[in-house]
Every structure is written in structure tokens, then in C-alpha cells.
Amino acid sequence: ETGVTQSPTHLIKTRGQQVTLRCSSQSGHNTVSWYQQALGQGPQFIFQYYREEENGRGNFPPRFSGLQFPNYSSELNVNALELDDSALYLCASSLGVGALPSGYTFGSGTRLTVV
């Protein structure tokens, strides 16, 4: 059983550019959540996708958008990058939106640096 895989692991972008981050959910999981973890902070919820639909969203502007595909993998897209978008982006997958804590699996993250 594979875990959650995120790509790329590291990325450097210029302010104003666009970026796409990818997440492959754990086998059997149909729900993907994205979190942003700024340096020295805890993860902040961005949004969740369940069966290809956005199921909930945190306090992030519309330039943060996402997709979930039929195989339940997911993308996070950020447009018009700002310096404050520099962070570790974490993806977590689960089976259903009300999964038990032990069923919620995090990937190792993508470290995005905006210069």
C-alpha cells in the first residue's frame, strides 16, 4: 500500500508566476486536503476535495485553486505568486470527509520558495 506522494519536492518561482503542485493520494482514499505551512507556523487548511468536488475551503484568496481527478489525485494551483506564498504545502488523503484520525495520511510536502 503506497502512501501519499507529492511532487515536486522543492520549487523556486518568481513573484507573479503561476505554480502547480501535485498530490497522489494513498490507495483506496477518495478525499484530498491541502494545507499551507509557513516557516515557524502550523499548517493552515486551504481546501478539501471529495470525489472531484471542492468540499470546503479555508481563508485563502481565489488565486488558490484546485482540482481532483477521477483517480483521486489532486493539484493545487496558485496564480500571481506573492512572496508570502513561500511555504511548505502539505497534502493529506483520507477515505471520506469524516475519516478517523488514524485514516488521515500526510505527504512529505512541496517546499515552494517565491523570490
Partner 1 sequence: GEDVEQSLFLSVREGDSSVINCTYTDSSSTYLYWYKQEPGAGLQLLTYIFSNMDMKQDQRLTVLLNKKDKHLSLRIADTQTGDSAIYFCAEKGDSSYKLIFGSGTRLLVRP
Cell numbers of 68, please?
A: 481532483
Among 1, 14, 40, 71, binds partner 1 (CB under 8 A): 40
Residue-by-residue DSSP string for 1-61: ----EEE-SEEEE-TT--EEEEEEPPTT--EEEEEEE-TTS--EEEEEEETTEEEEE-S--
Among 45, 60, 86, 95, binds partner 1 (CB under 8 A): 45
Nearer residue to partner 1 within complex by CB, 16 or 56: 56
Q: Taking the complex as a whole, how short is the minimal distance between the CB of residue 16 and partner 1, in angstroms?
A: 28
Nearer residue to partner 1 within complex by CB, 66 or 109: 109
